[in-house]
Structure 1
Amino acid sequence: MKYKLIALDVDGTLINDDHELTPRVKQAVTAAAAAGSEIVLCTGRGSASALSVLAQLGLSGTVITHNGASIVDGESREILQESPIGADEIDRYLALCRERGIHFDLNTAFDIYVEQLNDQTASMYARMLSEPILRSREDRYPERTVKISLFAPKEDLDELEGHWQEWQHELQTIRSGDYFIDLQHREASKGTALKQWAEKRGIPREQVLAIGNYFNDVGMLEYAGYGVAMDNSPPEVKAVADAVTASNNEDGVALVLEACLAGVSTISR
């Protein structure tokens, strides 16, 4: 296997739009692991959710979570690295969310805190294999918060991003899906975390494969020796990738890994 480290995004990449890990994708990922590749989930999800997906694959190992704001050892659940944000950096973002009725959550490496839940948001967390903890607005912010996630209709978030263009930002704002915006440390990214992990493992960039589908994946696609975008990616994401595979509903990840295992340099769609 040419690639010693394989970084896989989860939503929109590894799993399909029904939030399923298909048998073909699972088979390809486990075959790549058996061939000697280290599989690292590199996701915007929290650590508990990412480790649940890793368990579905029948694998253990390291996960890069919260868009690179935390790196966690799957077996010991030790937080190997994290990029917390300060309470003074959070206030005005949450004030604007409350004013506009935009749902948000506060994330530590393993836990998710929310001020309210309804049927729609509860269903969203269930799909993400997450169990949010209810908190009061008057409570102190959770210690070692690494990310704030906003969840709202696409048009509401589009308008919010337009409004934010006038701001001087203390935090990085990144679109992680049509219905999600993540706020995190300005230096945290999937690309930075993947680079740090590869260097720690002594794996050269040329032996790193990354597969993703959205704007929060751009950094890791650019860093990897071979970066592959899903067909369901926005055009801007495809533009930075070395190749484009089939969509997440067409087992695109499996196509890439099967080609690599066969020693084929191009993806057959």
Structure 2
Amino acid sequence: MSVKMIFSDIDGTLINSRHVITEKTIKAIKSCARHQLPFILVSARMPGGILPLQQQLGLSNPIVCYSGALIVRPQQTGSAIQPLLTITMDTETVLTIHQHICKRFPNISFSAYSFDQWLVQEPNNSWIEQERQIAGTAATLCTFQDDDMDVEFAPIHKVLCMGEPEKIDQLYESLLSLKLEVSVFKSKPTYLEIMAKDVGKAGAMNLLMKEYNVRREETIAFGDNFNDLDMLRFAGIGVAMDNAPSQVKGAADFVTLSNDQDGIQAALERFGIVGSIH
């Protein structure tokens, strides 16, 4: 069965450890576009953190944001987003998580995302600054008090918690014990991401596959971390990067080279989707 649709995570997968897309990977993806093969970017990032990469690759397909909580077409991003899909968190749940972190985990950085806004409580926090540099997105100040969570900042698509790995692990277990109606993922050892219950990359894949009239077995997906597991398992061919944790590699159908070794390009060539690129 030939591949008719490609899905790819961004951080740790599409971009390398210097947070750039290499020339060989760009050429491979542009080759897919020339052959009318949809290449869909699927990320926990906000739209503004995906669009520059989409433009760099010359793509015009829909983009999947917040690990599947928001799907938009590129021309629809901005102040008047008309999403193909939007799944948001209950405001009370967001405030409960915020209060829990303030009381139990004061060293954890808390922020949230609403459509194309990144809402932060401490803009000068070192974790916020690190994420700003990686994703290239601006932040908006928000106190996360009841009177601040009005229509301007709601609804919330994702909560991002950043901190030292040990604290992130503790927070993960603590949030599970609260039994909130949310999905909780570690996208890397220092990042914990929280979305509405049942949000996942596989659900976004399924919606777009129906729109493009593509069957599950005709897809390939690339990922490197735990929030990619459902996508890798759902795809016809799930490809893990060599820099992925062992559990993620074990869930994949194939393990390619790392994100620092043009792993996407290598796999696309390995499966005959693109020719040799030099």
- Please point out which of 248, 254, 259 is paired with 2:270: 259
1:97 aligned partner = 101
Q: CA deviation at 1:7?
A: 0.4
Q: CA deviation at 1:166?
A: 2.6
- Please point out which of 230, 234, 249 is paired with 1:219: 230
1:70 aligned partner = 70
**TM-score when scaled to structure 2?**
0.90
Structure 1 residues 262 and 143, CA, compared in 2 at 3 Å: closer, same or farther? closer
Distance across 1 between alignment mates of 2:37 and 2:140: 36
The one-letter code sitting in structure 2 at the alignment partner of 1:136 is T
Distance across 2 between alignment mates of 1:143 and 1:119: 23
Q: CA deviation at 1:169?
A: 2.2
What are structure 2's unaligned runs of at least 5 residues? none
Distance across 2 between alignment mates of 1:244 and 1:178: 21
**TM-score when scaled to structure 1?**
0.93
Corresponding position: 1:107 with 2:118: no
1:190 aligned partner = 201
2:149 aligned partner = 140
Q: CA deviation at 1:132?
A: 1.1
Corresponding position: 1:125 with 2:164: no
Kept in 2, the 8 Å contact 1:148–1:184? The answer is yes
Kept in 1, the 8 Å contact 2:45–2:66? The answer is yes
1:267 aligned partner = none
Structure 1 residues 129 and 263, CA, compared in 2 at 3 Å: closer, same or farther? closer
Distance across 1 between alignment mates of 2:117 and 2:178: 29
Q: CA deviation at 1:36?
A: 2.0
How high is the sequence identity, in percent, across the aligned residues? 27
2:9 aligned partner = 9
Q: CA deviation at 1:165?
A: 4.0
What are structure 1's unaligned runs of at least 5 residues? 265-269
User: What is the 5 A alignment of 1:32-43?
Assistant: 32-43=32-43
Q: CA deviation at 1:40?
A: 0.5
Aligned residue for 1:84, secondary structure, equals: coil
Distance across 2 between alignment mates of 1:79 and 1:195: 16
Kept in 2, the 8 Å contact 1:32–1:257? The answer is no
Distance across 2 between alignment mates of 1:5 and 1:28: 14
CA deviations over 1:126-179 (Å, ceiling 9, x no partner):
211211111234311522211111111112101222333432122111111111
Count of residue pairs brought into register by the alignment? 264
2:86 aligned partner = 82
Kept in 2, the 8 Å contact 1:107–1:146? The answer is yes
- Which stretch shows the higher mean deviation, 53-62 or 14-23? 53-62
The one-letter code sitting in structure 1 at the alignment partner of 2:99 is A
Kept in 2, the 8 Å contact 1:149–1:183? The answer is yes
Kept in 1, the 8 Å contact 2:182–2:198? The answer is no
- Please point out which of 253, 257, 261 is paired with 1:242: 253
Corresponding position: 1:60 with 2:69: no
Corresponding position: 1:205 with 2:212: no
The one-letter code sitting in structure 1 at the alignment partner of 2:120 is V
Kept in 2, the 8 Å contact 1:111–1:132? The answer is yes
Q: CA deviation at 1:60?
A: 1.9
